[in-house]
Structure 1
Amino acid sequence: MKVGIDRIRFYTPRWYVDMAKLAKARHEEPGKYLIGIGQSKQAVIPNTQDAVTMAANAADQIINDNNRDQIDLVLFGTESGIDNSKSAAIYLQHLLQLRADIQSVELKQACYAMTAGIQLAKDHVLAHPASKVLVVGSDIARYGLHTAGEPTQGGGAVAMIISADPKILAIEEPSAHYTADIMDFWRPLYATEAVVDGKYSSQEYIDFFDRTLTEYQTKTKSSLADLQAVIFHLPYTKMGLKALKSVLNRTDERHANQLLREFEYSRIFSREVGNLYTGSLYLSLLSLLVNSENLKSGQKIGLFSYGSGAEGEFYVATLQTNFQTAIESGSIKKVLEDREELSISEYETMFNSQMPLTNDNFVTNDKLDSAKFYLAGQKDQQRLYRRREV
């Protein structure tokens, strides 16, 4: 039985900052951000959106009357959780008006958690073939204004349905893991901004990719030449390019150029949004599927997932017949095309307007945000989520 991605969609708020203009405001050469980091625009998150509402706005696009009652498990990967006890998946289940007799769980391991959710969902469907699983990765990447990490911020959510007989991608067996206790990136409970050792994290990312790719090839007796494309978790798009180039000596020049070409397609959307943390790899997947002119059913795509701290996984998925029809490319592109640019001062104001991690009551500027799901504020230490009828 084939199991994999049946539907997939993406959400990010409607505002962005131009990276060339941000570079100038920070007294940097634009090329440092545009080429050195590989980013053109960066999503800016208003105080009306958090991990829960962005997940709801993404998932709402793939849930309908045909699949709603078949969903019996919700797996929510995030490192931007809003409660140390209650799962973000419970809030999501309620906002999406899903059945009450289902399981809803939040998963955490930095940027790797959504991949963990996909693999758990696959096993669940193998055991329960009639089931459909909603898997979401939703995050806000924050490092602070005027910091070294500022140009690698961003935010958004990717949602997918994992099912039998998937329309888009079938996930292959096996996969390869590598886990090590390292301190390359973390966010203490008292902080909204992460702590990162950038150079160390980059080195570990490439090392984990090499280890998991090699282990996968050993397990499956396969080679790089079997893959039409290799896509990556992209905290910034230059990172994935460095990792890909590190293994191109394992294949011939023609195939190496093919992998480089497909990588360029896979990073188009991430260049426009920035870091999604848990959803980043799957935004790369969407970008490849929407933008590549070369993909055909039956071809295999390699996926490298990395979560600092650290855990990595490499696995392969096969494109299904008529996958292009199931992607809904026009709707995905429209999310990015309909956004509005903020000036640097407007961006800084929006960045600083986030609801603080305190027990104070708070009211957001919900008249600004037209999204279907939004955060109205906090009252009596409870977040107030709203569903706008549109």
Structure 2
Amino acid sequence: MEIGIDKIGFFAPHMYVDMTNLAVARGVEPEKFTIGIGQSQMAVAPITQDPVTLAANAALEILDEEDRAQIDMVLFGTESGIDNSKSAAVYVHHLLGLKAEARAVELKQACYGATAGIQLAKGHIALHPESKVLVLGSDIARYGLKTSGESTQGAGAVVMVISAAPRILALDNDNAFLSNDIMDFWRPIYSEQAFVDGKFSNEQYVHFFNEVWKQYKEKTGNDLADFEAICFHLPYTKMGWKALRTELPNADESTQERLKANYQISTAYNRNIGNIYTGSLYLSLLSLLEQKEDLQAGAKIGLFSYGSGAVGEFFTGTLQPGFQRMLKKTDHENLFATRRELTVAEYEKIFEETLPKDGSTIELDIESDPAAICVAGMQDNKRLYINKEHLIEQK
């Protein structure tokens, strides 16, 4: 029985800041951002969007009534969750109107959370082939204004429906994975911003890729030549390239050129959204699927997932016949085309807007946010969520 990605979609806030403008405002050469880390634009989340609403909006794009009837598990990978007890998955389950007979759980291991969700979903589907699992990767990366990590911020969510007989990507069962207790990136519960040892984290990312790739080759006998493309977790778009280039010299020239070209295609969306933590790898996959026009069914795709702290995994899948029909390329083109560019001053003001830390009541202006699902405010220490589409149906 084949199990894999049946549907995939993503959502990002309706605002962004241009990285060249941000560099100038910070007294940095623009090429440091646009070439050095490979970022052009950075999505900016308004106060009316959080990881729950980003994920729910992304899911609205792809779910139909058949999905709602068959989804009996919601797995939410995030490292910017909103509650230390209640899972973000429960909120999304309600906002999407999924059936009550379902499990809903939040998963945390830095940027690896969504990958963990996929692997757990595969096991569930193997036992219950009639079921579907909704896997969400949603985060808002925040390091603070004028910090060293500011240029690798971002916001967005990727969602996937995992099922038997998948129509996009059938996942193989030859995964290679590795865990090691390291302190390259972490965020204690008392801190609003993460701590990072940047040089060490970059080194560990490459090291983990090398190790799981070696393990994968020994397990399967496959090599780089067997892949049409390899997608990477991308906190910034140059990160994956640092890992890939360490292995490319072991391939023939045509394989090197193919993988380099397809790597660049796979970074297109990430370059203009920024870092979305748990969803970054799958935004890279989506970029490849929608931007490479001659991608063919039967092509083998490699995926490298990395979550600081750290867990890494290399796994693979095969594109299915007619996979293009399951994509939402036009919707995603519209999402990018309709975003509003912010000045650096506007971005800074929006960044400083946060929900009350003392649980006090606040009502937010959701009319200024075009998204269907928004944070409407807070009351009695509870976030209030609104699904505008549901309100329209009720009227």
Q: TM-score, normalised by structure 1?
A: 0.98
Equivalent residue number for residue 227 of structure 1: 227
Residues 66-215 of structure 1: matches in 2 within 5 Å?
A: 66-215=66-215
Equivalent residue number for residue 16 of structure 1: 16
Helix, strand or coil at the partner of 1:66: helix
Aligned-pair CA distance for 1:354:
2.1
Q: Say how many residue pairs are matched.
A: 390
Q: Tell me if structure 2 keeps the 8 A contact 1:47–1:365.
A: no
Aligned-pair CA distance for 1:356:
4.2
> Aligned equivalents of 2:161 and 2:61: distance in 1?
11
> Aligned equivalents of 2:243 and 2:134: distance in 1?
30
> Aligned equivalents of 1:208 and 1:333: distance in 2?
34
Residues 1-390 of structure 1: matches in 2 within 5 Å?
A: 1-389=1-389
Q: Tell me if structure 2 keeps the 8 A contact 1:77–1:136.
A: yes
Aligned-pair CA distance for 1:364:
2.5
Deviation track 1:248-307 (CA, whole Å, cap 9, x = no partner) reads 012111110110000010000000000010000000000000111331111100000000
Deviation track 1:367-388 (CA, whole Å, cap 9, x = no partner) reads 3112110001111101111110
> Aligned equivalents of 2:215 and 2:249: distance in 1?
17
Deviation track 1:210-250 (CA, whole Å, cap 9, x = no partner) reads 00111111111111111110110000001111111111012
Aligned-pair CA distance for 1:188:
1.3
Larger mean CA deviation between 61-70 and 357-366 belongs to: 357-366
Structure 2: state its 5+ residue gaps. none
Q: Tell me if structure 2 keeps the 8 A contact 1:52–1:138.
A: yes
Q: Tell me if structure 1 keeps the 8 A contact 2:366–2:375.
A: yes
- Shift of the 364–195 alpha-carbon distance from structure 1 to 2, 3 Å rule, reads farther
- Shift of the 356–184 alpha-carbon distance from structure 1 to 2, 3 Å rule, reads farther
Partner amino acid for 2:156? G
> Aligned equivalents of 1:266 and 1:109: distance in 2?
24
Partner amino acid for 1:128? H
Larger mean CA deviation between 61-70 and 253-262 belongs to: 61-70
Q: Tell me if structure 1 keeps the 8 A contact 2:167–2:320.
A: yes
Aligned-pair CA distance for 1:41:
0.2
TM-align CA RMSD: 0.9
Partner amino acid for 1:323? F
Partner amino acid for 2:160? M
Deviation track 1:340-360 (CA, whole Å, cap 9, x = no partner) reads 100011000010002143323
Aligned-pair CA distance for 1:365:
2.9
Helix, strand or coil at the partner of 2:325: helix
Partner amino acid for 1:377? G
Structure 1: state its 5+ residue gaps. none
Helix, strand or coil at the partner of 1:248: helix
Partner amino acid for 2:40? S
Larger mean CA deviation between 325-334 and 67-76 belongs to: 325-334
Larger mean CA deviation between 9-18 and 240-249 belongs to: 240-249
Report the identity percentage: 54
Partner amino acid for 1:15? M
Q: Tell me if structure 1 keeps the 8 A contact 2:77–2:278.
A: yes
